[in-house]
Chain A
Amino acid sequence: SAVISQKPSRDICQRGTSLTIQCQVDSQVTMMFWYRQQPGQSLTLIATANQGSEATYESGFVIDKFPISRPNLTFSTLTVSNMSPEDSSIYLCSGTPLGGHLPDTQYFGPGTRLTVL
């Protein structure tokens, strides 16, 4: 399995500012993903964080708004840029560890609760 931590756990931000969320895994993972969970909604995939190359974004999400970095196999960041109240959500990171009992299983971080005023 993989234990995933996220920083910060929550934040309250002013509109127009940016916030960078960090995701750290305790072991190497092949794939890392970022999801968003808006209030009362399900989890929606934002992008796949690729190690050493640009992230792959899902329809409706763009790099300028959600730049992602993944400098190595255990760490990734998601930035929410030029925030508006509509960006208020829980942002979750997930990873798929190398090998293990259940290959290709996605493990999730605890989430970052973002409120934009």
Chain B
Amino acid sequence: AQRVTQPEKLLSVFKGAPVELKCNYSYSGSPELFWYVQYSRQRLQLLLRHISRESIKGFTADLNKGETSFHLKKPFAQEEDSAMYYCALRIGGGADGLTFGKGTHLIIQP
């Protein structure tokens, strides 16, 4: 079965510092990868997905099939980036549900 691993439960960085949230997956085929974010007292929302190859709120993520990774990066952290971040995987297209990692709580210190 597929699996998503986010090794850091908590990540604390200073404002202006670079951020990297790690995500590794295990699946033998070609999955779709997503990053979802949940700000305090808000619902889970899509941040970005690998097929879009977009930069959202300064965040980017590159799918590395060789390393089976989809790390989320931002060069300069902002205080409003503090949130819970979930990496998720989907294997069957839009008809399938998502497999989530356990999440990383990102805290940006002033």
Contact surface of A with B, Cβ cutoff 8 Å: 30-31, 33, 35, 41-45, 48, 58, 92, 94, 96, 102-111
Contact = CB atoms under 8 A, between A and B. Distances in A.
A101 to B, nearest CB: 10
B46 A102 contact: yes
Interface residues of B, number: 19
A108 B44 contact: yes
B10 to A, nearest CB: 12
B53 to A, nearest CB: 12
B76 to A, nearest CB: 26
Contact of A105 (B46, B93, B95, B99): B46
Contacts, number: 49
B16 interface: no
A35 B97 contact: yes
Where chain A touches its partner, the secondary structure class is: strand
Contact of A102 (B52, B93, B95, B97): B52
16 contacts: A35-B97, A42-B100, A42-B103, A43-B44, A43-B98, A48-B96, A58-B97, A94-B97, A94-B98, A96-B94, A102-B49, A103-B94, A104-B94, A105-B46, A108-B36, A108-B45
Interface of B: 36, 43-46, 49, 52, 86, 93-103
Nearest to B46: A105
A105 B101 contact: no
Contacts of B99: 45
Given A31-B94, A102-B49, A104-B93, A42 B44 contact: no
